[in-house]
Structure formats: C-alpha cells, structure tokens
Amino acid sequence: MQDRARGSETQPTARSVVIDVRELTRRFGDFTAVDHVTFDIARGEIFGLLGANGAGKSTTIRMLCGLLKPTSGTAHVDGIDVGRDPEGVKHRLGYMSQKFSLYEQLTVDQNIRFYAGIYGLEGKRYRTRRQFVLEMAGLEGREQTLTVSLPVGWRQRLALGCAIMHEPPVVFLDEPTGGVDPLSRRQFWRLIESMAHAGTTILVTTHYLDEAEHCHRLALIHAGRLAALGTTTDFKRVFDERPIVEIHTADPVAVMNTLDGQTQVETTSLFGTAVHAVLSSRTLGPDVVRGWLAAAGLSATDVVTVAPSLEDVFLDLVSQNRGQGPGVSSDQGLASRE
C-alpha cells in the first residue's frame, strides 16, 4: 500500500530493508520501557516513531544506536546485530540526540573539526565535508562564531551536519526540532527529505504530530508497546466508519459533558476552542449532535463533520490500545499545533 503524504515524494519504490527490529524489549528492573516492538525500515525511507514523552521512543533509538543493550529481541542496522556488535553499529550511523549535542563554548569551525576527528576525516575529504556542513547549516562566514550565540535553528542544522559528516547510510534523529521555531522546523525537514532522496535511511522520533506528515511510514508507541504501524492514510482509516463532528461553542466543557453521556458518542476531546466528538456510526452527523445539545439547553455557533487529523488518530489509538496489541498495520491499512 503506497501513501504519499506531504513531503514524502521521495518514498522508495523498491524495498531494501536496512533496519530490522524483532520483538525488541528493554526492562529496567520491574519496569518495561520497550515491550516486544517489531518493525522494519527500507533504504531511503523516512520512518517516524511517534508517542508521548515517556512512551519508549528514546529508549528504542538508544538500543538501535548500540548505546543500550536490549533485554531481549533483536535489531539489525545495515546488516549489523546491535546486541552483538554495538561498536560496529556506531560506525554505520549518524545520531542526533534530543538534547543539544555540540560544544557551545567552541566556535562553529571548532565543532566541525572536533567531529571530523571523531570520524577520522582528514585532508581533502575533511575540507569537502566541512564545506558541506557550512553550506547546509547556512553558516558560511560565521565559522568563528561561538556556537552558544547561534539561534537555535542554526545550532540544530549545525548539529545535524556534524552528525552526518562521515556520510552514514543510516541517521537517527531523536526529537531534533524541540524548541525550534516553525520556520526553522520547516527548513530542517527539507534537509531530511533531501537526505532521504539521496538514499539515506532516516528514523526520527517526535511528539509533534504535524511533523509526522513528512514521514513515509509511522509507528505509534504507547506505554512501550507498538500501538499502530502504517502510513498516514492507514492511520486515518480508523475513522472510515466513524465520523468526527467539530462543535464551536461558548461552553465547551458543558458540551463535552453532555456528549459524553450519549451512548453513540465514543470519545470527546478539546481541539483549541472547539470540541471534537467521535460518533459510532456514519448514520449519525451534525444534525443529530445539534439535537442532543438543544435537548440539554446548549447552543453552538457551528457543528460540522471534519476530516480526521493525526491528533484525532493519536487520541483514538491510545484510547483503544491500552493493554492491547497494534491497532493499525500497513497490511490493513502526536502535539500538532504550534
């Protein structure tokens, strides 16, 4: 099943699996942070790992990087078993953590030279890759600027450039746009898409659901377990037979309380100043909702059926998958606002 989400024009047509994760599990004492997670990622694919803070995204990515040994299960990255050869994996990938990973008291050029030394780059190759990083990050002419004085967006682009100086076939980005303004986030994603177009395999963790639209496929992790796996179209099909009605009202709390008392309303949630209500059947719609509200003495300025957003999907899947297995797969078929 092929889905071309926004920004995913480069989705690979022939699947060559580069990352293969099977029943991956990590326990810390009695606490299971990652619980039997299984997925694979193809060459040139942008794969999004979604979930709330504490869901298990960072623990998963740390295992795939060889930084944390799995308790059980297997994971292969570019043909290397991360459990058996964690050092070998580190040479095959670039890793950018969710925390700023550069030395802020060094200049731009000193950071580039430091990471070049880690990756063993020298001579002509070092000069070529140094120029690449400066151009990619938009920092030409600012080589002697202290990194701490750069705007956050530029620092993140510099961090990405340093992480891929050695041209790795696989790149892991752990919440790379946290704290970055919307324009810089957009520019950052253009860089990611260009890397995928060139054949780099990218796994990115994020809790920004609007960023998930850039990914070719998504995996939703909830409480350490895989709750859903597929494309954005696959995800939104959970609402094929259940309409979502958006209600604009001066009293959203009272509206939610009223609708929650209706057996034909599955869930309600706040979306900004509006209320979203998931109805149990396509035979229901805005007119029925207006009737329920009128009977309760409530008014609404607007009641309309809306297309599902990924935030709707996220809330629905988390609700349905508490204590259950995956709810969506590609065989069948998550803070989104600035």
Domain ranges of the chain: 17-236, 238-316
Q: Which of 43-47, 53-57, 206-210 has the lowest mean pLDDT?
A: 206-210
Q: How far is CA 29 from CA 33, 35, 221, in A?
A: 10, 13, 20
Q: In which order are the strands placed within the sheet that holds 170-174?
A: 93-96, 170-174, 201-206, 46-50, 217-222, 225-230
DSSP 59: H
Summary mean pLDDT of the chain: 87
User: Which residues, 6 or more positions from 272, have their beta carbon under 8 angstroms from its beta carbon?
Assistant: 337
How do strand 17-28 and strand 31-42 relate by DSSP bridges? antiparallel
More confident residue, 104 or 293: 293
User: Which residues, 6 or more positions from 213, have their beta carbon under 8 angstroms from its beta carbon?
Assistant: 5, 6, 7, 232, 310
Residue 176's pLDDT band, with cuts at 50, 70 and 90, is: confident
Task: Give the phi and the psi of residue 260 in degrees, each rounded to 5.
Answer: -60, -20
Residue type, 185: R
Residue type, 256: M
pLDDT of residue 333: 36
Percent residues over pLDDT 70 in the chain: 89
Give me the DSSP letters along 143-158.
TTSBGGGS-HHHHHHH
* pLDDT tens string 251-261: 999 999 999 99
Closest CA to 234 of 336, 111, 134, 328: 328
Chain position carrying tokens 């297997």? 74
Residues, the chain = 338
Beta strands in 51-200 (DSSP E): 72-77, 80-81, 93-96, 170-174
CATH topology (fold) of 238-316: Alpha-Beta Plaits (3.30.70)
Chain position carrying tokens 């395999």? 201
pLDDT of residue 152: 84
Q: Which of 7-21, 36-50, 249-263 has the lowest mean pLDDT?
A: 7-21
CATH topology (fold) of 17-236: Rossmann fold (3.40.50)
Kindly report the pTM of this predicted structure: 0.80
Residue 14's pLDDT band, with cuts at 50, 70 and 90, is: low
pLDDT of residue 205: 87
Q: Evaluate if residue 335 carries a pLDDT over 50.
A: no
pLDDT of residue 331: 40
pLDDT of residue 321: 62
Helix, strand, coil shares of the chain, percent, nearest 5, are 35, 25, 40
More confident residue, 311 or 328: 311
* Residue 111 tokens, joined: 């950071």
* Residue 123 tokens, joined: 């001579």
User: Which residues, 6 or more positions from 139, have their beta carbon under 8 angstroms from its beta carbon?
Assistant: 108, 133, 145, 150, 154, 157, 158
More confident residue, 328 or 263: 263
* pLDDT tens string 114-143: 999 988 999 999 999 999 999 988 899 999
Task: Give the pLDDT mean for 263-279.
Answer: 93
Q: Evaluate if residue 45 carries a pLDDT over 80.
A: yes
Q: How far is CA 223 from CA 41, 206, 215, 313, in A?
A: 22, 15, 22, 16
* pLDDT tens string 282-304: 999 999 999 999 999 999 999 99
pLDDT of residue 326: 44
Task: Give the pLDDT mean for 291-319.
Answer: 90
pLDDT of residue 323: 45
Q: Evaluate if residue 109 carries a pLDDT over 90.
A: yes
Q: Evaluate if residue 91 carries a pLDDT over 90.
A: no
d(CA 171, CA 92): 9
Coil, strand or helix: which one is 226? strand
